[in-house]
Structures are given as structure tokens and as C-alpha cells.
Structure 1
Amino acid sequence: MERTDAPTENPATDDPRPVAPEAARPPRRRVSLWIKIPGVLLALLAVLLLGTRLFLIPGLGDLFGTETKDRTGPAVLKSLQDMSNYEAAAGNFQVVVDLEKDAKLLPDAIRGTRTLYVGAGTVGASVAMGGLGAGDVTVNEDRTAATIRLPHATLGKPALDPDRSYAVSKQRGLLDRLGDFFSDNPNDEQAVHRLAAQRIGEAAKDSGLTARAEKNTTGMLQGLLRSLGFKDVTVIYK
């Protein structure tokens, strides 16, 4: 029997156009997955890999290092103030602040923060000398004895030292993390700083810093007046 490869009509449709046999159809090509990836992504991966290898080569890592630019303007003088206090003593303090904020109806993993902060600062103690009147300083006729009446020493405001203060840890709930992601919240840091300054101020009151300041002020005045010829110098704190 003679075999012919003549095309036949398509029985599924009434299309008179012939249908090619299966053997005559070209084979389908399988497209590789790597061909579907955009060329830009491949180029980016190549650059990242190349940059990582360059960092491993001594001397070439500096070419891709970060650069810090300071665009801060000059400081502006706002006011001047004459000093009439003698700062006779200063104390260095350190406090560990453990500040936790919880939500009433939500667990800590969902809403709440806990900050562990080490605050270091100084507190000064000074004696006011600008308001002395005529009756606060008395001298005898021979100018060998003098009596000075001063107000008691007072404590200044605590000053936190940013170089010695640091945050140890900060735990945040899920909602707080999302809030920090979309917006900055400096109020939390200010609350920690205020609490650290408050605790340092309370510690300064019980440290005997004012008594030390009065003792140092007395020694300073006695040395100054004795160098001017006074033999008996009395300092009274009223």
C-alpha cells in the first residue's frame, strides 16, 4: 500500500485549510527560568558580588567606604550673663534608668516599651556673692580681722554628659515598632533623659555637696584676705 503524507482537512472545524501532520510540526522550545529574569537584576547581583570581593582585597575597601559631611552652621550668640556665683564644688554621678511603659489591656509583646539607660552627669554647688550688702562684710579698725556673711551654697541643675551616657537596651512591642518605622518619636528619649537628670539631682542633695562647697569657699576667702594682711578671717553662712 502506498503511504502518502498529504495534509488532511480539519474535522473539528469546517476550515478547508489542511492540517499538518504531527510529524511535520516544529518541536516546542522550553524557555529556561534564568532567561525570564530581567537583565537588570542579573547586573545588580554581579555588581554586589564584585563589590563584596573588592572589600576583601586590602586597600580597595576604602574606595567604597562612607564619607561624613558636616554642614552644620556656626553657633550664634543669643545672650550674655554676668556670673556672680562662686562654683566651689562639683559632683559626678551615674544612674541606671529602667523606664517601662505598659498598655492597660494589651500584652507587652503588642504594645509597650522598656528602656534601660545609663545616665552620667555632673551637678555643681555654688555660693552667691553678687548680692552682698554693706553689713555683710565687717573689718576692725586695725584691718587685721574681717567677718564675711554669705548665703548658703545651692545646687545647680544636673547636666548630662552625652559622651558618658548611653542606652543599654530598648524593648518595644509590635505596635510601637510599627509606629517608630513610620515616624520618629523623640519624646521617649526626652522622658528617659529627664528621669536620669531628676535622679542625679536627688542624689546630689544627699551627697553633702553643698557643705563641701561652703568649706571650699571659706578656704578661698581666708587665703585671699590673709594674703592682703588680714590675720583673722571669719566666714559665716546665714
Structure 2
Amino acid sequence: MTGTEVETEQVGSRTEPTPSGSGPTANKPRRRMPAGLAGVLGFLLGAALTAGLVVGAAFTLRDDFRDAIWRTVLDNLNPFTTGEVDRSETPVLVSIQDLARFVAAEAQYEVLVDLENDVKYVPSWLAGERIVLAVNGSVDAYVDFRDLDEDAIEISDDGTTVTVTLPEPELAEPRIDLDASRALTEDRGLVDRVGDLFASDTDARQEALATAQDRISDAAAGSDLDERARANTTSTLQAMLSPLGYDQVVVEFG
């Protein structure tokens, strides 16, 4: 065998490279991520996304809403948070009364009450008190229809005139509007302040309110509120009875 033939055989016996995907390693299965690890990673990813959404929503809220949320959280975590327990009972009906009052006029009043209680020979800074209240109230003028009977209404023979006899208008008790009333000055001496530690000082305020109620009642009695009530009642009855076919509606008080 010549050298040329030997070289030719060696070249022909060279092993060709194994194609990709074939050979002894081609049939080995690929490694997969364990199911438990995949579940944990999925949970962490979902939690991260949820936290991002919550944080983004929190930043989009207004300041007052964020403050309200923080206050709610802090209140729930505070072991000394106070609460209200309502043990009130159901209201019990004491009495019921049918009313037939026609409120014909109303007057609004505001009165300034200045009451001062001094102790003789003792300076005001030591003993005594002064309270100044601006009190708002109202008074109604009404006509009571409860005692009206058949004789209160009289129709003329020709049926063109109706006469209604009513009682005189009355003034109701003044109603004090506590929401609109306010205290301007409330000074007390040292002794009275010490007494307030053991008992609330409500007598002076009640006395001031009672004084205001009396003054409002006197002002209403000295006004033309009753005359306005007569005029308004007359015009109301005329408007109600004229469409019934009466040419004249007469309203008398007495």
C-alpha cells in the first residue's frame, strides 16, 4: 500500500460531526421548574402587583381621604379609643292632643340680657358673677278654632253673605332659639369659679334665659302682632269662602 493510499483511507475514516438534535443526548427530557417553586413565585408576583396598585391608589386620593384612612387605622390600633354606648329607652307616649290653631302671624326678636350678681363689700374678682346673653326668640299669634260650633258661621237669607265669628287672636309663649343665641360675657369671681368645680353653674344661665323670655313676651304684647293676626285670618277665610259662591265674607272677632 502506498503512502498515498494510506492517507486516503485515514481521510475517509474521519468521523462526521453529529447533527444537532441527534445522538445519544437528543432524547433526554428538559428540566422543568418545580410546581411548588412556581406557585411561590406566582404568589410573590401577585402580591407585588397588588401592593403597587394599593400604593398608586393611595397616592391618587386627596389629602383629606388619606388622613381619614390614617385616622381610622390609628383609632383601631389605639387601645384607649373611647366609644359611646346608647342605653336610652324607647319614648313613651304620655298624652296626645288635637290642635286647631291657625297661626296667623309670627314675630322674631333678639334681646340682650345683662345680669350681674354682686356681693356687698367684696370685689367682683373675688365673688360675684356677670353674664351677658344675646337671646333670639319668636312669638306666634294664632286663632283657636277648637271651640267653634254651628253658631260661629251665619249665612244670609239670600245666600250671598257669610259671617264667621272667631275668638280673639292669642299670643303663644315665646320660643327661645338656643342655636341662634350666644353668650357674650360670662365672668365669675374666684369663689364662684371654685364652686364650679363641684357643681355646674347653670342657675345664672337659666335665669338669664327666663328674663329674656319675659322681655320677648312683653315686647310681643306691646306690638301690633294681634292686629296682623286679625288681618291675615280675615284675608285667608275670604280667599277660602269666596270660591264657594259668596259675594261677601265677613269675619268678626269677639
TM-score (norm: length of structure 1)? 0.69
Q: Does 1:200 align with 2:216?
A: yes
- Superposed, which structure 2 residues align to 1:83-232 within 5 Å? 83-232=99-248
Following TM superposition, where does structure 1 have runs of at least 4 consecutive aligned residues deviating by more than 3 angstroms?
58-70, 72-76
SS at match of 1:162: strand
Distance 1:128 1:187 in 2: 35
- Which has the larger helix fraction? 2
SS at match of 2:84: coil
Tell me which of 84, 94, 99 is aligned to 1:69: 84
SS at match of 2:147: coil
Q: 1:204 to 1:173 in 2, by over 3 A?
A: same
Distance 1:189 1:111 in 2: 17
Distance 1:75 1:120 in 2: 29
Q: CA deviation at 1:61?
A: 6.1
Distance 2:82 2:223 in 1: 46
Distance 1:68 1:117 in 2: 34
SS at match of 1:108: coil
Q: Is there any run of 5+ residues in structure 2 with no aligned partner, and where?
A: 1-66
Aligned AA for 2:114?
D
Judge conservation of contact 2:102–2:142 (CA < 8 Å) in 1.
yes
Aligned AA for 2:227?
A
Q: CA deviation at 1:86?
A: 1.2
Distance 2:191 2:122 in 1: 10
Distance 1:95 1:124 in 2: 17
Query: How far does the alpha carbon of each residue in 1:167-191 deviate from its partner, in whole angstroms, 9 at most, with x for none?
Result: 1220001110011111123222211
Q: CA deviation at 1:206?
A: 2.3
Aligned AA for 2:92?
V
Distance 1:138 1:194 in 2: 44
SS at match of 1:225: helix
Aligned AA for 2:209?
H
Q: What is the identity percentage for the equivalent residue pairs of Structure 1 and Structure 2?
A: 35
Aligned AA for 1:107?
P
Aligned AA for 2:107?
G
Q: CA deviation at 1:197?
A: 0.9
Give the CA RMSD over aligned residues.
2.3
Q: Residue 94 of structure 2 corresponds to which residue in structure 1?
A: 78
Q: Residue 25 of structure 1 corresponds to which residue in structure 2?
A: none
Q: CA deviation at 1:80?
A: 0.6
Distance 1:228 1:70 in 2: 58
TM-score (norm: length of structure 2)? 0.65
Distance 1:163 1:125 in 2: 23
Q: Is there any run of 5+ residues in structure 1 with no aligned partner, and where?
A: 1-57
**Bigger radius of gyration:** 2
Query: How far does the alpha carbon of each residue in 1:157-176 deviate from its partner, in whole angstroms, 9 at most, with x for none?
Result: 00111210111220001110
Between 1:114-123 and 1:126-135, the stretch displaced more is 126-135
Q: CA deviation at 1:70?
A: 6.8
